[in-house]
Structure 1
Amino acid sequence: MEDLIKAFINKTDEMLETHGPAIREQGTTIQNLERQVEKLANLLSERVPGILPPDTERNPKETIKEVSLRSGHVLEDPKAKQKDELIEGQVEIVEEQNNSNIQEGEVMVDDVYAKFLKEILSNKRKVKETSVVKLTEHCSAILQNSLPQKCGDPGSFTIPCSLGNIKFKNSLCDLGTSINLMPLSIFKKLKGEIGEIRLIHVSLQLADQTAIIPEGIVEDVLVRVDKSFFPVDFIMINM
């Protein structure tokens, strides 16, 4: 026991020596952050509300520099253009640009159509033929405003299967239902080979709108279809 305590103490000392510098660095960083936050708080408290920090200053010299040539020649001041002259010049330039754009567009369109017609006449370009889409009987009947042809009843879909030692040649397989039913007489013939019935609180509504209460459910019954086994839950009904 003493050896375990000594080993624990040594391990703790090693961990403290390893993490000690990191902890001290974190403490120093936290102190620096506290100092910076304190400085910001002091600056905000000294600031006068409603005035920006950098106050603008007026021009102390109030002088203007002049550019002069070496020859001493004085240039004339540039004359500002009148508004009427500017507007007329802009209107003329815009009208010229619009006219040139329209003419170029007409020439391009004419060239494209002429090239297209030449290719069709010379059989260089083939016109796309319409593809044939086959519609189903229901779509065709809707478009033709007629009733689709009624097909005969294909009958029930049955497959052979086996439960335990009993084989069933014609087992009804209705793909539209979400539950599996088994007569109570079949369960009694199997004599407990497929498990026990567990009570469930459900009621089943049949096709003729009648309701029946099942005897219970048997879970994970192995049903053999050909060479494959499937676990199925059966609800037992007394027929």
Structure 2
Amino acid sequence: ANLPYPSRLAKEKLREKDDILAAKFMEIFRYLHFELSFADALVHMPKFAPMFKKLLNNKDKLVELIKTPLNENCSALVLKKLPENLGDPGRFLIPCDVLEFDNCLALADLGASINLMPLSIWKKLLPTLNDTKMVLELADRTISKPTGAAKNVFVKVGKFYFPADFVVLDFVADPRVPLIL
């Protein structure tokens, strides 16, 4: 019988053998018992003895270092004078302008690394798209193939213009919030 990958079988046998040896070692190690004081351990570790000696001789200084004066940030936490939690705002909308769409809102999805635009909006803006081989897994675990990609679309947020790349997807968007940035 010819095996397609004989080296893989040999590696698996070695791995099994190593696992058995490791289990035996752990079994022996569990039953070991040492009676060794801290002082005896220091005697057997001459490299670390000076460091431990300095630590033990300067323990009063260490206690002084532990006492840290509180600044305004720490004292707010200790005295429980933190601002009241206002809760989840629900969604984060950015007022923006995209080409011919003035005063539209975009959903700022801070976890996404792509910008989405519905195909219906894109058809109103520009007729051509770049092809893409991208496949997206959406939040509801469905797989979707985008219609195309749009490069360097200028989005005005406030008084600033930002170039953004959009993935154009055929989906029904909320007319009030057509974009996901």
Name the TM-score, length of structure 1 as normaliser.
0.37
Structure (1 or 2) with the greater helix fraction: 1
Q: Which has the higher contact order (CA 8 A, sep 6+)?
A: 2
Name the TM-score, length of structure 2 as normaliser.
0.48
Structure (1 or 2) with the greater strand fraction: 2
